Amino acid sequence: MDCLAEDIERLQPPVDLWRKFIYCTSLSGSILGSVDHMQPQDFEKIISPTSVAHFSQYKLVRLLLKQLETLGFYICAPSDFESLNHKIICERKILMGHECHSVNFTDKGVTVGVSFLEEGKIVDRDIHCDILVGSDGARSTVRKLVGIDMKGERDLQKLVSVHFLSRDLGQYLLHERPGMLFFIFNPKAIGVLVAHDLYEGEFVLQIPYYPPQQMFEDFDFKVCEQIISNLVGWNLADVQILDAKPWAMHAEVAENFVSFDNRVVLVGDAAHRFPPAGGFGMNTGIQDAHNLAWKISSLLNGIAPRSILQTYETERRPIAISNTELSVQNFKAAMAVPAALGLDPTIANSVHQVMNSSIGSILPSKLQKVALEGIFSIGRAQLSDFLLNEKNPLGSFRLAKLRRIFQEGKSLQLQFPAEDLGFRYYEGALVANAGHVPPQGTVEADGNSDRQLRKYVPAARTGSRLPHMQLHALKSPNEDCFSTLDLISGDKLEFVLVIAPIKQSYDLARIALKVASEFKVPLKVCVIWPQGSSSEKANGSDKELEPWSNYIDVEEVHRSSSMSWWDMCQMTSKGVILVRPDDHIAWTAESDAVKDPFLEMERVFTIILKRE
């Protein structure tokens, strides 16, 4: 969407306020260690036209709604609903405040029963659709109603999430110890504080709890305020708790992403639930939507049959499985820190299991609660300044162990470019290369077995994301640079064929445009010229691609590297790259190796679009 990345970059807090994870005994107490997750190269935008960002989800939703309104969508409140007829409902309307309660299938499609509040009364209404996309979160009602099960690890941990404001705390951290995440361990309490905005004093605190001995109802606002004070180190006078919610951490993936004759599709948290370690939840969800959008558009525009939607599951489910595994690894890395301090979470979970077993269950519930909290209190006593200091042999040993964890990069990590940018599809809406296909649930990168240390290495491989390089449009008065990723339209369905200004590639591109028109597939050709090429030379594309005019001549712009576009892609300059509307490469070839370009392009579009 236009300007969305720029808006996020402009509105997010300055990077120096969130680049660190800080481990401490309290927000005003001793710092046990800190990890800076940003390196100088992260700001150079070498592998991506944008940098990593720290931005609250509800703020992102506001920006997305604003973008949708700009695109002509109308945000409907429940009070607007009765005045809308069914046809208008289906056209560019975002219905706020509606909850799905039933899903039924007919010969004509899907009937979704929704309810909304109107003048204090619950009103029901049916909405008819051809495709139902369940993007309704980790507790997805759509997923449950259509009977899709989740597979994986459940209840890794239960937590209370407390959303609160405190400008006093924000100002203190802003000037004394700015950071994104604060892992706080002291004899009174343990918690993880997420600093969303230090200027505004906006925070979310995560507090572990262990039901049934500890229940969410035990955490009223007064108790939460006391826990906040224990973790801060003093009583904050301006704490305003906005919300407190319980949630369970799972690592699960839906057994099916597409079901009921390709009429129900799960996206985002509805399809996969990860531990919040590494930002995989939102990143994977956005990738889901990006993958699905062009396929739905192809179906609705008559370009592809309904079976194109099945490729969404074929491509996205293995990525979700892989990211689930990695998020669990990252979560376990986070648990290495309390374990080094003598608070091994596996021991806490074992104690809790014993308490819930037949042995512990014979005790009255109140006694169970007292016993569990007493045991945990004894455990937290190891965090006292008396024990946790360099003069105490045990404390010195534990602090040294903690330093090694941070120095070796074995604590919770923030950035995973190999997974966020380097993931690859091996089958689906693409022309798969012959040869190696990795087993389900793995993502290929640079071969490093330590997944936390993997680097993203750009390459133009079928199924991978188109690499980023800065370009300049030849024959344009505008001197601004843009990314290769900007060649793909953000507001319409269009494939892009990338070539070099070589006779055989021009010939193949001309035939590709003809075949695409017969398939009713919008296609644009991008001719990438070496840096230093003149606009006069680029005039040759007019004659070479005649009679087709849907092309653009661009010039490489080298910054920190002299590597050419084709070297980065690990191809020769005779390479041709067909890119899908979701930035992923659908087919590659060397133009001089294509014996019959017409038959080859017919084969390529038939396979990609799943045409009979």
Query: Closest Cα to residue 414, out of 6, 22, 3?
Result: 22
* Cα-based torsion angle of the residue sequence 424, 429, 433, 434 in order, rounded to the nearest 10 degrees: 120
| pLDDT confidence of residue 437 | 56
Interatomic CA distance for residues 482 and 495, integer angstroms: 18
Low-confidence stretches of the chain (pLDDT beneath 50): 86-87, 436, 439-452
Instruction: Give the pLDDT confidence of 365-381 residue by residue, as tens digits.
Output: 888 888 888 988 998 99
Interatomic CA distance for residues 226 and 183, integer angstroms: 17
| pLDDT confidence of residue 360 | 64
DSSP summary character for residue 432: P
| pLDDT confidence of residue 448 | 36
| pLDDT confidence of residue 475 | 77
Q: How many CB atoms lie within 10 A of CB 550?
A: 13
| pLDDT confidence of residue 478 | 75
| pLDDT confidence of residue 89 | 56
CA distances from 490 to 290, 486, 487, 583, 591 (A): 10, 8, 9, 10, 28
| pLDDT confidence of residue 364 | 82
